[in-house]
């Protein structure tokens, strides 16, 4: 059983080429999120897999920064609508912190490329046009415009106009590129009309225009000798961009289209990601709630065309449970449910891993830390470590270690995980997950007689025993509540009321073992 990334690398390694270029690209129309940045993550993973096969590889990422702004992205004000239709490259930075609109939205991704182990050569569509890289391809497209129009018309219901040209000049009057229509050319001069009423002449060598998308894409493949490219499913639809560009690439530019890797869009809490509506989740935000490997795991655990819905809320804990398990199985810290699952887990983690051969990271269970941090009343690493140890939450390589035994690397990983969980608690956790231990005063909440009696007996039990396993305490608690004729819900409510001042909380036995024993005994007796 081969992971799909490795299978693609195997297929590519059989191609008769001296070097592989794995291309990726993103439209800089707003925040770059985990949906539209899939290209670069997949391309990087394929590149790594090819290098393992001793192939010469370059992974490139092309900023589609010369495209027109079609919607005002969140959180920009509506005043930015005056830039609609203009190339991103000509729009000013919204906050005045960068040289322009493009850099403002690129920077958050560029800042975390190293964190994700992404080794990529960055290209700019704008710079390619300005520097003349596209000039010969524009000339060829203009010369063969009739053939290109015929190719387009095969996939259109309404044929293009007879004087249609595959080039969009930037209007020198209004600065827009999606409102112009080129109708004639003479050498490097292109004649156009704009919806603003202006008629003008554009010089293709100045970079003040661009090829229409499907022709541009085909030209780009030839320019970079692209052998493989991931892209969203919209481009992969029958008669869509890839189908049309594939024909143009072969018939106009004499180049075979690259190996395609179409992928399904990622939804956010069931809603399509939208830069204009502010519905997105960015790679830099992911690093605030989880390690870089966990995003790789999320992207690569299933095939690229399988639907993916991401939620940073309660469902994120399930994702982190799964990631933690896969990581532990990979490092032989935990057994998989079966040999088949073990192989599957290790294949996925091998692709998700950022630094091959790196030692076992110290990442205590994410879900348990959600409670441990709140019990500790903050991010006191040593205090939380004690809670982990008392609850047997350390895997076999760490179970005999004390806090002082952690290496500098392990301590950094541990701190990162605690900070991730704290950020998740502060920004994404639902209200019912949150609690505060009422250390300073006893909550004034009513209890039934049976509940009071249960708490007194539980206090005696904990005072006279040193439980090391929450399961053992749990069993003894049930004996007491049954002796008092209490339903589990009522018994546990009594514990939460006295310690948290609310009716619900984390698993009772583990919760009690996580707290200071003297505090628990006194609180259950209402003495402190």
Per-residue pLDDT tens over the stretch 52-76: 999 999 999 999 999 999 999 999 9
Mean pLDDT of all residues in 496-511: 94
Residue 1: pLDDT above 80?
A: no
pLDDT beyond 90 at 528: no
- Please report which residue ranges of 353-469 form alpha helices under DSSP H: 366-376, 381-390, 408-427, 449-464
- What's the CA gap between 256 and 317, in Å, rounded? 44
Residue 225 backbone zone (phi > 0: left; psi -120 to 50: alpha; other: beta): left
Query: Among 117, 68, 55, which Cα is nearest to 259's?
Result: 55
Residues 6+ apart with CB under 8 A from 228: 8, 12, 20, 21, 22, 23, 43, 46, 258, 259, 260, 261
DSSP code for 427? H
- Residue whose C-alpha is closest to residue 265's, from 459, 466, 36, 44: 36
| Tokens found for residue 386 | 């004690």
pLDDT for 468 beyond 90: no
Q: What is the C-alpha separation between 365 and 388, in angstroms, rounded? A: 9
Q: How would you label 230-268 residue by residue, b for 16+ Cβ within 10 Å and e otherwise?
A: bbbeebbeeebbbbbbbbbbeebbebebbbebbbbebbb
Residue 273 CA from chain centroid, whole number: 12
Bridge partners, residue 262, by sequence = 231
Q: How far does CA 281 lie from the centroid of its chain?
A: 7
Please state the rounded mean pLDDT for residues 393-419.
Answer: 97
As a whole number of Å, the end-to-end CA separation of the chain is 59
What mean pLDDT, rounded, does the chain reach?
Answer: 96
Contact 399, 339 (CB under 8 A): no
Average pLDDT of span 240-269: 97
DSSP secondary-structure letter at 358?
P
Quick one: average pLDDT of 501-518? 93
Residue 215 pLDDT greater than 80, yes or no: yes
CB 230 within 8 A of CB 12: no
Contact call for residues 88 and 28 (beta carbons, < 8 A): yes
pLDDT number for residue 179: 97
Q: Say how many C-beta atoms besides its own lie within 10 A of residue 399's C-beta.
A: 11
pTM over 0.85: yes
Going by C-alpha positions, the residue among 247, 18, 40, 17 that lies closest to residue 123 is 40
294: Cβ contacts below 8 Å, ≥ 6 apart: 286, 319, 320, 323, 352
At 270, which helix (H) or strand (E)?
none
Mean pLDDT along residues 246-269: 97
């Amino acid at each position: 059983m081969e992971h799909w990334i490795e299978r693609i690398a195997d297929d590519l390694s059989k191609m008769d080429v001296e070097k592989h270029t794995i291309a990726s690209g993103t439209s800089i129309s707003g925040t770059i999120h985990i949906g539209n940045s899939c290209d670069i993550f997949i391309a990087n993973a394929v590149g790594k897999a090819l290098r393992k096969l001793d192939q010469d590889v370059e992974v490139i990422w092309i900023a589609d920064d010369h495209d027109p702004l079609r919607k005002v992205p969140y959180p920009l004000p509506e005043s930015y609508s005056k830039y609609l239709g203009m190339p991103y490259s000509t729009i000013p930075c919204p906050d005045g912190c960068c040289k322009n609109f493009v850099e403002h939205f690129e920077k958050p991704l560029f800042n975390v490329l190293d964190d994700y182990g992404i080794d990529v050569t960055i290209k700019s569509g704008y710079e390619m046009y300005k520097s003349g890289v596209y000039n010969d391809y524009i000339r060829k497209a203009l010369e063969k415009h009739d053939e290109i129009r015929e190719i387009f018309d095969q996939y259109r219901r309404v044929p293009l106009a007879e004087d249609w040209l595959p080039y969009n000049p930037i209007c020198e009057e209004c600065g827009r590129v999606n409102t112009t229509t080129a109708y004639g050319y003479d050498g490097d001069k292109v004649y156009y009309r704009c919806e603003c009423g202006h008629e003008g002449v554009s010089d293709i060598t100045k970079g003040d225009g661009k090829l229409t998308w499907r022709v541009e894409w085909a030209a780009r493949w030839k320019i970079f000798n692209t052998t493989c490219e991931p892209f969203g499913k919209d481009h992969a639809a029958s008669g869509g961009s890839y189908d049309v560009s594939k024909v143009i690439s072969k018939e106009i530019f004499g180049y075979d289209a690259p190996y395609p890797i179409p992928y399904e869009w990622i939804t956010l809490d069931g809603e399509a990601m939208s830069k204009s509506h502010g519905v997105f989740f960015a790679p830099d935000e992911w690093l605030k709630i989880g390690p870089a490997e966990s995003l790789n795991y999320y992207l690569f655990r299933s095939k690229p065309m399988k639907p993916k819905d991401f939620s940073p809320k309660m469902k994120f804990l399930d994702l982190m449970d799964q990631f933690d398990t896969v990581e532990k199985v990979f490092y032989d810290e935990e057994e998989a449910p079966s040999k088949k699952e073990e192989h599957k887990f290790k294949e996925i983690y091998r692709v998700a891993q950022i630094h091959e051969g790196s030692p076992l990271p110290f990442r205590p269970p994410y879900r348990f830390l959600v409670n441990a941090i709140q019990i500790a009343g903050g991010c006191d690493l040593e205090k939380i470590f004690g809670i982990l140890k008392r609850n047997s939450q350390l895997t076999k390589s760490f179970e005999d270690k004390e806090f002082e035994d952690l290496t500098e690397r392990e301590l950094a990983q541990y701190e990162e995980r605690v900070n991730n969980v704290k950020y998740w608690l502060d920004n994404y956790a639902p209200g019912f997950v949150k609690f505060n231990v009422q250390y300073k005063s006893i909550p004034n909440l009513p209890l039934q007689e049976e509940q009071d009696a249960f708490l007194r007996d539980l206090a005696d039990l904990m005072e006279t025993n040193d439980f090391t396993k929450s399961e053992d305490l749990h069993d003894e608690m049930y004996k007491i509540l049954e002796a008092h004729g209490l339903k589990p819900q009522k018994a546990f409510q009594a514990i939460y009321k006295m310690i948290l001042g609310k009716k619900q909380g984390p698993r009772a036995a583990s919760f009690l073992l996580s707290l200071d024993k003297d505090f628990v005994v006194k609180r259950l007796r209402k003495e402190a």
